[in-house]
Each structure stands twice: as C-alpha cells, then as structure tokens.
C-alpha cells in the first residue's frame, strides 16, 4: 500500500471533485491519502483512517501584493513528504500544482528523499490558461519533469501535444463516476413540486463562467418551451449569474426557470431531470454531463474538446457546433417530444455512464503509480 499526497483545488470545480473522489477510492483500497490544499476539498465529506488533510496557509506580509502560494505549497509538500514518507505526489490541474511539486521533488532530492510526481491535466490548465505565454514555459517544464502525466480525454492529450513543446508521453485516463452516489434517486414529490403538470425538466450545472455559455442554455430552453411545456433548473453560481438572470427577464421566461445556486446533493436534482444541457465553448471531459448520465439523464451538448468521447451523438444525446442554439433546441425536442425516445435515450445514457465506473478507472491510476515507482528503482 502506498502513501500518496494529492494536491488539488478544494472548490466544486471538476478537477477538485475528480481528485477528491479518487483519493477517497484509493483510501478505501487501503492506501494512505494526504490531501494538500488551501482549504478542505468540498467533497472530502467522510471519515476514514486512511484519509488526511493538510492545509496550506500563506503568511501575510505587507510586501506581498501577490501572496506566494506556490512557494508555500512547495514547502508544505516537502514537509509532508518527509514526515509522512510519501511515495507519490499526485497533482491535479497543472497551475501551479505541477511546478510546486517539481520544486518539492528537487528539494527533497537534496534531503535524501525521492518521490514520484504524477500530474493530471484537466482542461483549462492546458487549453485556456496554460498555453498563454504568461504560464507556458513553466507548464511545459513541469509536464516534462513529471514522472508521469495523464489527461482526462484524448482531445486534451492531443491539445497538450499541440500547444506545448514537450517530450513527455501524456496518457489518457478518463474521468469516472461513483454509482454509490450518482444514480437515479426516486424523488417524485420533488418532481411534482417543480413540474406539477408533467412538464419536461431541463437541467444545467456549472460554475457560471463564460466558457460554459450558460446564456446558450437559456436560449435553447426558450426555444424548447415555445413548443412544449418545460422547466429549467440551473444549478451552480459564478460570474455570469447576473447576466443570465437578466436574459431570463428579457426573454420573459422567469417563471419557468429556477436558479438553485450551489447544491451539495446535485444527484437528487439531476434525478428529476429529463435532459442535461452543456453548451460549453470548451470542455476537456465534461464531468457534469457524466454525473447527469449516471442519473439517467441524456445530454444536449457541443461537439467541442472531450465531450464527444463521452456523449455519443444520437445515442446518449446529441452534439452540436458551439453556439448553434437552434440545432441544440431541435435535438432537445427530438428527444423530449416522444416518450419512447426519451426512455430509450435515458437508458442509453445510463449504460454509457457505467463504462466510466470508478471500479474501471481506479486500477489505471494505480498502474501509473506502480510504473513510476518501478522506474524510480531502476
Ligand atoms: O472548468 C474549469 O474551469 C476547470 C476545470 C476544473 O477544475 O473544474 O474543469 C476541467 O476539468 C474537469 C475535470 O477533469 C473536466 O470535466 C472539465 O471538462 C474541464 N473544464 C474545461 O475543460 C473547461
């Protein structure tokens, strides 16, 4: 059994969720897992004798207009790696976690401790932020210096090779879902309260950033509810929320749209959904869509990034070009207007989600850990 340090963002974002769920599953397998972040990860919500959490705090000093988080994190990693005798540092989201881990690895080497660094790329660390000249040299170096690098989809792997001058192999390990949590929960009373006249329920969850194109969700919904009785549930919060509320007012559909804000038990809401809408500009995997599919909700999405590797066009939902609201609405109606077709798409979504069960994906990460540790011994 291994001692593993997991570095991640603690928020509701996909990379933090994947890191936390992976750590919990590794702990269940008997590994000792140490989470290292600036605040307790949102999904670190259960106790196990194999799970630990270490907070990184950045001391304040008047000179620091930009508090040096990366330096504090690297120092924390050195401390924990030595004291807890970590074998592996598994960092999720390259910026700044990968470079902090490489710095820690180099410092540890001077103190007689070797450690393997595994970096998992999640998306915007490559596609949006990472390839920008502000960060590119550091991201490239940290990828090349990692002992192993994984990406959550083939599309992200390809984009990494295209955008960075690296010689490191990037392995694809897709994201996963835990069916103990994400499965259809019978919530008939909730469904009745939201859609008392049997309206179709469309759902969207995101961090309401521009890249998620939540305005397209609303525009798709407007076209759908022009044709059939429908309700829209918007889960999450973020910078675009005000604009989206205004758009709903302008389109005069406020009474059919529910803003539910950030929710812990998202699976309970997904369970009453008939259709999930993910019109993102860029999405390296689309974990939120997988969560919906596990709750038997088909997906209307864009054909960008890694989404088509998850949402099978014409089977579990449909994929359209980014911004093609008319096509997304037409596809939504194709599914929603026919009870039998809706039932078929729901069943297909569930079947597809089962391919991403955590039990299938966890061994892939364990194999990566074994291979980097084996290489270190040679
Ligand atoms: O979505 C983001 O802004 C960043 C990132 C995160 O930390 O939540 O999301 C990325 O990682 C998720 C987990 O691997 C993927 O499911 C998302 O598709 C990916 N987001 C983007 O590529 C925009």
**What tokens were used for 145?**
């210096």
The atom of ligand 1 lying closest to the CA of 287 is 16
**Parallel, antiparallel, or unpaired for β 299-302 and 200-205?**
unpaired
Name the residue of 96, 285, 293, 365 to mutate for ligand 1: max ligand atoms within 8 A of Cβ: 285
Q: Is the CB of 175 under 6 A from ligand 1?
A: yes
Residue 181 lies in a domain: no
The reply to whether 292 and 198 lie within a common domain is: yes
Name the residue of 12, 15, 16, 278 to mutate for ligand 1: max ligand atoms within 8 A of Cβ: 15
Which residues contact residue 162 at a Cβ distance below 8 angstroms, ignoring those fewer than 6 apart? none
Residue 183 lies in a domain: no
The reply to whether 41 and 117 lie within a common domain is: yes
* In the predicted structure, residue 182 carries a pLDDT above the cut 90: no
C-alpha 1 to ligand 1 mean position (Å)? 30
Report pLDDT digits (tens) over 95-136: 999 999 999 999 999 999 999 999 999 988 888 776 778 999
The reply to whether 75 and 164 lie within a common domain is: yes
The reply to whether 244 and 342 lie within a common domain is: yes
**Parallel, antiparallel, or unpaired for β 88-92 and 51-55?**
unpaired
C-alpha 13 to ligand 1 mean position (Å)? 7
The secondary structure of residue 255, as a DSSP letter, is G
Q: Is the CB of 315 under 6 A from ligand 1?
A: no
Nearest to 312 by CA among 351, 271, 364, 273: 351
Q: Is the CB of 122 under 6 A from ligand 1?
A: yes
Percent with pLDDT over 90 in the chain: 86
Nearest to 102 by CA among 133, 80, 73: 73
Residue 114 lies in a domain: yes
C-alpha 284 to ligand 1 mean position (Å)? 6
C-alpha 151 to ligand 1 mean position (Å)? 11
Higher-confidence position of 329 and 12: 329
Phi and psi at 31, nearest 5°, equal -75, 155
The reply to whether 28 and 167 lie within a common domain is: yes
Q: Which domain holds residue 21?
A: 3-176+357-377
User: Roughly how many angstroms between the first and final C-alpha of the chain, as a whole number?
Assistant: 20
Strand partners, 317: 299, 313
Which residues contact residue 220 at a Cβ distance below 8 angstroms, ignoring those fewer than 6 apart? 202, 277, 279, 300, 325, 328, 329, 332
Place of tokens 């590119």: 136
pLDDT of residue 299: 98
* In the predicted structure, residue 187 carries a pLDDT above the cut 80: no
Which residues contact residue 339 at a Cβ distance below 8 angstroms, ignoring those fewer than 6 apart? none
Q: Is the CB of 211 under 6 A from ligand 1?
A: yes
The reply to whether 114 and 205 lie within a common domain is: no
Number of H helices, E strands in the chain: 15, 13
CATH code at 117? 3.40.50.2000
Name the residue of 6, 9, 13 to mutate for ligand 1: max ligand atoms within 8 A of Cβ: 13
C-alpha 233 to ligand 1 mean position (Å)? 21
**Parallel, antiparallel, or unpaired for β 170-172 and 275-278?**
unpaired
pLDDT of residue 112: 96
The atom of ligand 1 lying closest to the CA of 285 is 18
Residue 372 lies in a domain: yes
Q: Is the CB of 286 under 6 A from ligand 1?
A: yes
Q: Is the CB of 18 under 6 A from ligand 1?
A: yes
* In the predicted structure, residue 200 carries a pLDDT above the cut 70: yes
The reply to whether 348 and 361 lie within a common domain is: no
The reply to whether 222 and 243 lie within a common domain is: yes
pLDDT of residue 188: 82
* In the predicted structure, residue 23 carries a pLDDT above the cut 80: yes
Contact 140, 97 (CB under 8 A): no
Q: Is the CB of 153 under 6 A from ligand 1?
A: no
* In the predicted structure, residue 331 carries a pLDDT above the cut 80: yes
* In the predicted structure, residue 90 carries a pLDDT above the cut 90: yes
Residue 182 lies in a domain: no
pLDDT of residue 76: 98
The reply to whether 157 and 115 lie within a common domain is: yes
Report pLDDT digits (tens) over 222-270: 999 999 999 999 999 999 999 999 999 999 999 999 999 998 889 999 9
Question: What is d(CA 147, CA 87) in angstroms, rounded to the nearest whole number?
Answer: 12
Whether a cis peptide bond, with omega within 30° of 0, leads into 96 is yes
Report pLDDT digits (tens) over 270-310: 999 999 999 999 999 999 999 999 999 999 999 999 999 99
Q: Is the CB of 292 under 6 A from ligand 1?
A: no
In this structure, the residue with its CA closest to atom 12 of ligand 1 is 14
Report pLDDT digits (tens) over 26-46: 999 999 999 999 998 887 877
C-alpha 127 to ligand 1 mean position (Å)? 10
The reply to whether 119 and 62 lie within a common domain is: yes
The reply to whether 35 and 171 lie within a common domain is: yes
Q: Is the CB of 284 under 6 A from ligand 1?
A: yes
C-alpha 207 to ligand 1 mean position (Å)? 10
Q: Is the CB of 356 under 6 A from ligand 1?
A: no
DSSP letters spanning 269-288: HHTT-SEEEE--S--SS-HH
The reply to whether 154 and 255 lie within a common domain is: no
The atom of ligand 1 lying closest to the CA of 127 is 22
Q: What is the torsional sign of CA 219, 224, 229, 230? A: negative
Q: Does an H or E element contain 365, and which? A: helix 358-377
Rounded mean pLDDT of the chain?
94
Q: How many folded domains does the chain comprise?
A: 2
Q: Is the CB of 146 under 6 A from ligand 1?
A: no
């Amino acid at each position: 059994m291994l001692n593993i340090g997991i570095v991640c963002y603690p928020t509701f974002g996909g990379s933090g969720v994947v890191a936390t769920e992976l750590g919990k599953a590794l702990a269940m397998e008997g590994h000792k897992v140490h989470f290292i972040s600036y605040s307790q990860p949102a999904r670190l919500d259960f106790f196990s004798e194999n799970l630990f959490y270490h907070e990184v705090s950045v001391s304040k000093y008047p000179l620091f207009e930009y508090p040096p988080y990366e330096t504090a994190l690297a120092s924390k990693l050195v401390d924990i790696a030595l004291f807890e005798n970590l074998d592996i540092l598994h960092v999720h989201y390259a910026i700044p976690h990968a470079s902090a881990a490489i710095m820690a690895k180099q410092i540890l080497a001077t103190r007689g401790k070797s450690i393997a660094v595994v970096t998992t790329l999640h998306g915007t660390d490559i596609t949006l932020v990472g390839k920008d000249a502000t960060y590119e040299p550091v991201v490239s170096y940290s990828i090349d210096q990692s002992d192993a690098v994984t990406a959550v989809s083939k599309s992200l792997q390809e984009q990494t090779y295209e955008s960075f001058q690296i010689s490191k192999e990037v392995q694809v390990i897709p994201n996963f879902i835990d069916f103990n949590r994400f499965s259809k929960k019978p919530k008939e009373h909730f469904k009745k309260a939201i859609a008392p006249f049997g309206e179709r329920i469309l759902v969207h969850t995101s961090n309401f950033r521009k890249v998620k194109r939540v305005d397209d969700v609303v525009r798709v919904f407007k076209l759908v509810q022009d044709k059939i009785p429908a309700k829209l549930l918007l889960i999450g919060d973020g910078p675009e929320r005000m604009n989206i509320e205004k758009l709903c007012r302008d389109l005069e559909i406020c009474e059919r749209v529910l803003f539910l804000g950030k929710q812990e038990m998202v699976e309970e809401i997904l369970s009453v959904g008939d259709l999930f809408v993910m019109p993102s500009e860029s999405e390296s995997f689309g974990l939120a869509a997988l969560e919906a599919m596990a709750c038997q909700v088909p997906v209307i999405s864009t054909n960008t990034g890694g989404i088509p590797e998850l949402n099978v066009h014409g089977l579990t939902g449909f994929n359209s070009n980014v911004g093609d609201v008319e096509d997304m609405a037409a596809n939504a109606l194709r599914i929603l207007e026919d009870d039998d077709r809706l039932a078929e798409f729901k069943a297909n979504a569930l079947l597809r989600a089962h391919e991403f069960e955590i039990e299938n994906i966890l061994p892939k990460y364990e194999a990566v850990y074994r291979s980097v540790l084996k290489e270190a011994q040679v």
